[in-house]
Amino acid sequence: MAGDVFAEVDAGAQLATVWIDNPSRFNAMSIQMWERLAEVLRGLALDPAVWVVAIRGVSGNFCAGADLSEFGEHRQGADTLVYDQRTEAALSIPREMSMPVVAFVEGYCLGGGVSIAVACDLVYAVEGASFQIPAANMGTAYPEGALSRLRDRVGYAYALQLIASCARIDVAEAARYGLVTEAFASSEDLMARLSRIASLAPRSIAAAKASLHGRLTEDERLAIFSSNDYQEGLSAFAERRSPRFTGF
């Protein structure tokens, strides 16, 4: 197939990186890559060794959107609805995963790349990255699910502004309107933030994510306070040392 999506898991760091790999097209997503993204994310959701997932593009670019060379075949008439269903099958997964999913944005983040970014819990971007949704320049309709998530992140007016203007925006503007959660001077600084998140109590973070989405049960909340990690947190605080969490 054209391009691939694969995961690298650093079990020692509790961190998984999902790589978008189609560098000759600036990591544009083929339909098979969308399907691979769904498959990879579903697998990571079941891996207890993974506390944080980062989605990242190879060769210094996040994702230049959908592979336009496929549009003649897959985005004509009713086939467009099938195409959007297949992309949405991947983009709906991050919200359902217990661990935080982070968009690790470098270089181009265009069209479908923005769809991937806003499907993540957090959007971290390295200075020099750029964002654009060129749907109106291509005569296409931006998928409804992606547009809804974009609106939830930046608001109605700015979501429409991004579509209507086709403007290419930098990290500073994207952060100002909430498209980017935090900007970093380098990929190393961004990785350090991911490592920090992955060192903290995963059940606490998972509970916060579930609660924000309205799906944390009372029993799940109480279980946090019966966990080994809760006792470790208390002990570490009392002993003035860094906690060593296990996820149990």
pLDDT tens sequence for the chain (248 residues)? 579 999 999 999 999 999 999 999 999 999 999 999 999 999 999 999 999 999 999 999 999 998 877 775 667 777 788 888 999 999 999 999 999 999 999 999 999 999 999 999 999 999 999 999 999 998 999 999 999 999 999 999 999 999 999 999 999 999 999 999 999 999 999 999 999 999 999 999 999 999 999 999 999 999 999 999 999 999 999 999 999 999 99
Residues of the chain with CATH 3.90.226.10: 4-196
Whether 229 and 248 have beta carbons less than 8 Å apart is answered as yes
Distance CA 23, CA 159 (A): 28
Which CATH number does the domain 4-196 belong to among 3.90.226.10, 3.40.50.720, 1.10.20.60, 1.10.3720.10? Answer: 3.90.226.10
Classified as helix, coil or strand, 21 is: strand
Classified as helix, coil or strand, 12 is: coil
Per-residue pLDDT tens for 133-165? 999 998 999 999 999 999 999 999 999 999 999
> Which helix (H) or strand (E) is 31 found in, with range?
helix 31-45
Classified as helix, coil or strand, 141 is: coil
Distance CA 119, CA 149 (A): 7
Whether 187 and 58 have beta carbons less than 8 Å apart is answered as no
Torsion angles phi and psi, residue 81, rounded to 5: -65, -40
Global pTM?
A: 0.95
Torsion angles phi and psi, residue 106, rounded to 5: -130, 150
Give the strands of the sheet with 108-110, arranged side by side. 108-110, 130-132, 169-170
Per-residue pLDDT tens for 14-44? 999 999 999 999 999 999 999 999 999 999 9
Residue 107 tokens read as: 């270089």
As to burial, measured by CB atoms within 10 angstroms (0-12 exposed, 13-18 middle, 19+ buried), residue 64 is buried
Strand spans (E) along 58-144: 101-105, 108-110, 122-126, 130-132
